[in-house]
């Protein structure tokens, strides 16, 4: 009986350790899957920000061109000094 008790305890500890490892492996797989989903979402957000930045650059260039055009109109409509 003295030999059987430590053997049973050792088997039970090994069994519960195995179950605990199996459960935590499943949890880590779920966490890893969730991180993968979050990474994909961040990539989508990054792509969207890049699109927005490109659009803002185009708008800035359009505004600069419009400003230059308005400056040309303002200069053309200014009365010319008469020489002579």
How do residues 29-41 score in pLDDT, each as one tens digit? 888 889 999 999 9
- In this model, does residue 1 exceed pLDDT 60? no
CA distance 22 to 34: 19
Output Rg (C-alpha) for the chain, integer angstroms: 36
Whole-angstrom Cα distance, residue 24 to residue 30?
Answer: 10
Query: What pLDDT does 32 receive?
Result: 86
Nearest-angstrom CA–CA distance, 54 and 48: 10
The pLDDT of residue 3 is 67
pTM for the whole structure: 0.51
- Residue 5 has a pLDDT of 83
> 4 Cβ partners below 8 Å, 6+ apart?
none
Q: How far apart are CA 70 and CA 62, in angstroms?
A: 12
């Amino acid at each position: 009986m003295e030999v059987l008790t430590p053997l049973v305890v050792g088997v039970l500890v090994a069994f519960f350790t195995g179950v605990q490892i199996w459960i935590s492996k499943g949890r880590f797989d779920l966490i890893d899957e969730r991180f993968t989903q979050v990474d994909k979402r961040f990539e989508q957000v990054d792509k969207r920000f890049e699109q927005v930045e490109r659009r803002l650059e185009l708008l800035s260039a359009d505004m600069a061109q419009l400003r230059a055009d308005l400056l040309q109109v303002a200069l053309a409509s200014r009365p010319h000094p008469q020489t002579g």
